Amino acid sequence: MPLEMNRKLFLTAAITGAGATQDKSRLVPRSPAEIAEAAIDAAKAGAAIVHCHVRDPETGAPCRDLGYYRELTDRIRASDVDVVLNLTAGVGGDLTFGGAETPMALDRANTDMAGATERMAHIRACLPELCTLDCGSMNFGDDTYVMTNTPGMLRAMGQQMTDLGVKPEIEAFDTGHLWFARQLVKEGVLEDPALVQLCMGVPWGAPNDLNTFMAMVNNVPSNWNWSAFSLGRDQMPYVAAAALAGGNVRVGLEDNLYLERGVMATNAQLVDKAASLLSNMGASLIGPQEVRDLLGLTKRAPAEAAA
């Protein structure tokens, strides 16, 4: 099928992520209040979706504290700014081995492995409209850390998302992840059409050259919705590349800390820069209600939570 540029697309702002960025930029938000404020500012700048992790307010280290997620969700929903909330469900699959000669001497201080129900606790409590499903395992970075998501774990988490009525955003770091995502839909674990985020340039997943990118795009079923991003200085080029290939876009401090060389960014500034780039290409951003209509989402009331 020939690809056509997407001229009406949605933009996701990835607010903090789980990387060790807290000491690299003072603009990375830490507390639930700071993360919520950054998310609201990003929505005002044009983001229809905000993708959020939480962090320890004192250290900035990523965590999965249920109270922080509840506070973050309540603050965003209580604001007068409409935005689609997307919470991570990736935390709890972090396995850090020992060295090359002692792999089973796990680095327990940096290992956080939890069962499917525990990893989904904040999703049940907060009922975001979207949550992420990292659809595979992979070496992540250059040391001994492995992002761990077994087929059994993904089936269990995916089924819980479907049962809760929270749409998964499939995070695909390589073509094999898309293969397994299609299998989950075939099995009925996930609903069709699915939503995919193509994650480019994350060591050691799919490299962000355009040949690999188009291989990823061509492995997304034609009736699915998809978005894409890349890291660092490639963030804005991939805004253009994703739009040209027919997809949607993601920017934010999870993936890139700089507005330009030597200038630290806020999330809102990155959204504004991406919106300007897309406008100059002849594209426009759709809003959160249009995203809900496109993806089949139901807006959550501020007080909604699972029993």
DSSP per-residue letters across 113-142: E--HHHHTHHHHHH--SEEEEE-S-EE-SS
> What is the model's pLDDT at position 300?
79
99 three-class SS: coil
The domains found in the chain, sorted by start residue, are 9-295 (3.20.20.70)
- CA 140 remoteness from chain centre: 16
Q: Is there a contact between 83 and 300 (Cβ–Cβ < 8 Å)?
A: no
187 three-class SS: helix
> What is the model's pLDDT at position 262?
95
Task: Provide CB contacts within 8 A for 9, sequence distance 6+.
Answer: 243, 247, 248, 249, 278, 283, 284, 285, 286
Phi, psi angle pair for 100, to nearest 5°: -60, -30
Q: Is there a contact between 132 and 171 (Cβ–Cβ < 8 Å)?
A: yes
> What is the model's pLDDT at position 304?
60
204: preceding bond cis by omega (within 30 degrees): yes
E strands in the chain: 8-9, 11-14, 49-52, 54-55, 62-63, 84-87, 93-96, 112-113, 130-134, 138-139, 145-147, 167-172, 195-199, 225-229, 248-251, 258-260, 263-264, 284-285
Within 10 angstroms of residue 33's Cβ, the number of other Cβ atoms is: 13
> What is the model's pLDDT at position 305?
54
> What is the model's pLDDT at position 307?
46
Within 10 angstroms of residue 179's Cβ, the number of other Cβ atoms is: 13
> What is the model's pLDDT at position 302?
67
Residue 224, Cβ density class (10 Å: 0-12 exposed, 13-18 middle, ≥19 buried):
middle
Taking only the tens of pLDDT, the chain with its 307 residues reads 567 999 999 999 999 999 889 899 999 999 999 999 999 999 999 999 999 999 999 999 999 999 999 999 999 999 999 999 999 999 999 999 999 999 999 999 888 999 999 999 999 999 999 999 999 999 988 889 999 999 999 999 999 999 999 999 999 999 999 999 999 999 999 999 999 999 999 999 999 999 999 999 999 999 999 999 999 999 999 999 999 999 999 999 999 999 999 999 999 999 999 999 999 999 999 999 999 999 999 887 765 654 4
> What is the model's pLDDT at position 3?
79
- C-alpha to C-alpha distance for 195 and 257, rounded to whole angstroms: 26
Phi, psi angle pair for 247, to nearest 5°: -105, -170
Task: Provide CB contacts within 8 A for 20, sequence distance 6+.
Answer: 61
143 three-class SS: coil
- For residue 80 the two structure tokens come to 């007068």
Select from 103, 114, 39, 110 the least CA-distant residue to 267: 39
Helix (H) or strand (E) run with residue 44 in it:
helix 32-45
> What is the model's pLDDT at position 69?
98
